[in-house]
Structure 1
């Protein structure tokens, strides 16, 4: 998993509440268990017209936001089913940080397991970030995980809270497998002792 330290990017504004995981990645894309290739299906029902062409009105199709790595979204982001394909699709598109006033619990947990930083802010701070995001390519946000702050294009700062363990994992690029591998010497030692006991 890639480390998350400082992220500077244009932020795409998505002023929709209750964006569920089916809106993030519709069910027809769930046939794969690969984490790659899902970016094309991200928000597909809003991103593409009926004939399959890009919807010019959808934010991620607009030139200023095509390479956005930060998403500023409405309340209750990631609700609905527990599909892990949702963070996979965001990550495959290039989104590394989602900012909202609240997240569904399972989606929130899945983000950390996949190297995405979900940030919870107050409604007032979200409005400030929406204003910044609306400026498109003329404004970038900087997310500093170590300092736990979002810096706006005009120098304003918003502090965010985060569980220390989750922060440690993101800073060091540790998913569940990475965390387990840190214990490899202890696991090897245990297995060796177990094997010796079996032959005793």
Structure 2
């Protein structure tokens, strides 16, 4: 895995764009088997490296990576693995099939919201990015109500008040404003609105 990671870092664009589905299925099976921390980290780094190229994002999704990434995160991995998982999930959730798979997992929204403000600034950034993608492009009423139920809305309110980057607070504020008509009966939203627009 370490050698493969190095090879792909220096590979030509043509090579990395023409990886087949079987390659991604093998990478995802390594995540599922969780042989060692190093193997898992290397597999995640490989997927992150090749994800933006060609049709790789769709192949990674087709290999069922979204489900396995969430399952891996539910196992409470170490901090740098969580950062890699969130990085890859954010990329996969930027397309419709990735969001569809993300929302099919019962623990997806809950685990993302739980990790925000608990792991690292990098995880906060990617976690809010994931929730932004869901809220902008896949915001069915049941999804928005689930976000309220599992604490994602409360966490977004906390981000607006936390000691984090201005851009992150603005992203969280954007999501809250976008769906405040659905969430306005939540106590945390009422507190957020009161403190946000205090004179």
TM-score norm. by structure 2 comes to 0.33
TM-score norm. by structure 1 comes to 0.33
Answer 1 or 2: which has greater helix percent.
Answer: 2
Higher relative contact order (CA 8 A, sep 6+): 1
Of structures 1 and 2, the larger Rg is shown by 1
Answer 1 or 2: which has greater strand percent.
Answer: 1
